[in-house]
Amino acid sequence: MGEMLGANPDQLRRLAKAMGDGAEQLRSVTMTLQSVVQDVPWAGGDASSLRASWKSAHAPKLLKAQALLSENAQLLLRQSDEQERASTSSSGGISVSGGKDLPGNPDADFDHQPFGDISEDSGDMESSDIYQGQLGDCWFLAGLGAVASQDPEFLAEHITRNDDGTYTVQFYKGGEPVDITVEATRVEEFARGDNGVANYATVYEKAAAEFFGGSYSDIDGDDPAKAIEAITGQNTRTEGELNFDDIEDRMADGPVVAATEQGEDGGWYDFWTDTVDEKQIVGNHAYIVEEIAERDGERMIHLRNPWGPDGGTASDGEQKVGDIWLTEQEYRENFANISSVDK
C-alpha cells in the first residue's frame, strides 16, 4: 500500500474553519464571563480579589488561547494553499481563482464611479493618505499603510497604470507574484485619499477584492498578517501585544500592524475599565505602527488609524483620533496583538 505524502487542501481548510469557529466561540465565552465578572452585584474583598484575578490572569490566558487558535487557522489556510500549489505545479504557475485573473470589477452593491489618474510620484503613497470608508477592511488598509510607511517605493513598483487605462497591482501568493488587473472605476464609499480623491489605496483595495475572491465582501474583515503577506510576499506572524523592544525588532524586518483589545460589546474597544478613553481608540480595529521614539521625554509608540488623519466618527457618534502616540503602559492597556513579517 503506497504512502500518501502531504495533505488534502480541502481537509486543511475544514480544519482551519473549525479552529476559526473555536476561536470565535472562545471569544464569545470570554465576553460573557467578562460581563458577569464586571456586572454581578457583589462587593467586598473576595469580589475585588476575583475581579483582579480575572483581569490579570484568567482573561489574558483565554485571549491568548483565542489568538493561538486564530493564528493556527491562518497557518492551516496558508498550508492548504501551498499543498494545492504543490499538487498542481506541473501545470505551471500558481492558481488564483481557477488559474486566471478575475474580472476587472469586484462585486459590490454600490454604483461604480470613474476616477482620475494616480500620480506617478511614489511620495504620494503615504500612510497618512488613507481614508478607509464604509468597508470593514482596516486589516488590509492598515497592512497597506504599514508598507507605505516603511517603503512607498515598493508600492509604486507594484502598481502600474496600463495603456488602456486599467491598473495592474502585483500581489503575492505563497511568495509567488500574482498580477491583478482592475478597471479604472471606484466605489465612492470605500477607500480613498484626501478630500475623497481616489489614490493608491483605492486601487490596491479594489485589486485586493479581486485577489481574495472577487467581491468586496471577501475583504470585509480578516487578519492584518494576511494583508502584509499578500502585499509583500513575505511570511508573516501574529503575536501578542509584545513590548516596545520586540516591536522595534519586528519593524527592522518589515511593516507592523497593531490590533486593539476586545470589548464587552463584542468589539475590541474598552475591554478593561482602565483603557485610555481620552485617546479615543477605535474598537475591533487595526492600526499602522509608524515608529517607536522618544516624545516629551518618554519612549512612545506612534500609531495611525486607517480611518484617516481626523480619526473618523464611530457608530456611537464619538470622534476618534487618527494619529496617536501612546506610552508603553497605555499601549498595553488597549492593544491585543502585533502582526509582522516573520524572519
Q: Is residue 116 part of a domain?
A: yes
More confident site: 69 or 322: 322
Highest mean pLDDT among 34-38, 56-60, 152-156, 309-313: 152-156
Q: What is the mean pLDDT of the chain?
A: 79
Q: Are residues 241 and 202 in the same domain?
A: no
Nearest to 303 by CA among 259, 340, 270: 259
Q: Is residue 169 part of a domain?
A: yes
pLDDT at 274 over 60: no
The larger pLDDT score, comparing residue 13 to residue 205, is at 205
Answer yes or no: do 216 and 118 share one domain.
Answer: yes
Does 138 share its domain with 202? yes
**Three-state DSSP state, 135:** coil
Asked if 309 and 264 sit in the same domain, the reply is yes
The whole-number pLDDT of residue 223 equals: 92
Q: What is the pLDDT of residue 116?
A: 54
Q: How many domains does the chain have?
A: 3
Predicted local confidence at residue 180, as pLDDT: 94
Dist. CA 171–CA 154, nearest whole Å: 12
Please tell me what DSSP assigns to residue 288: E
88-131: per-residue pLDDT in tens?
433 332 233 333 344 466 765 544 455 555 555 444 789 999 99
DSSP letter string, 92-127: -S--STTTSPPPSS-B-SS-EEE--PPPS-GGG--G
Judgement on whether residues 228 and 243 belong to the same structural domain of the protein: no
Query: Where among 42, 70, 86 does a domain terminate?
Result: 86
Q: Is 179 part of a structural domain of the chain?
A: yes
Residue 174 included in any domain? yes
Q: Are 117 and 214 in the same domain?
A: yes
In this structure, the answer to whether residues 81 and 165 fall within a common structural domain is no
Same domain for 175 and 152? yes
Ranked by mean pLDDT, the top range of 221-225, 230-234, 240-244 is: 230-234
| 145 and 227 housed in the same domain | yes
Report yes or no on 105 lying in a domain. Answer: no
* 228 and 265 co-located in one domain: no
| 240, part of any domain | yes
Banded pLDDT at 138 (limits 50, 70, 90): very high
Nearest to 133 by CA among 187, 182, 206: 187
Q: How many Cβ atoms are within 10 Å of 290's Cβ, its own excluded?
A: 21
**Computed over its alpha carbons, how large is the radius of gyration of the chain?**
21
Which of 203, 232, 261 is at the close of a domain? 232
pLDDT at 304 over 90: yes
Enter the C-alpha cell of residue 152.
512607498
**Nearest-CA neighbor of 212 among 306, 96, 105, 104?**
96
* 244 touches 258 (CB < 8 A): no
Q: Is residue 93 domain-resident?
A: no
Better-scored residue on pLDDT, 171 or 213: 171
- Claim to verify: residue 171 and residue 183 sit in the same structural domain: yes
H-assigned helices in 186-327: 200-211, 224-232, 244-253
What is the number of other CB atoms lying within 10 angstroms of the CB of residue 319?
A: 11
**For position 50, which CATH number holds?**
1.10.287
Kindly state whether residues 119 and 132 are assigned to the same domain. yes
Residue bearing cell 483620533:
321
Assigned domain for 101 exists? no
Domain span holding position 216: 112-232
The residue with greater pLDDT, 103 or 173, is 173
Its sign, for the CA torsion 44, 45, 50, 54, is: positive
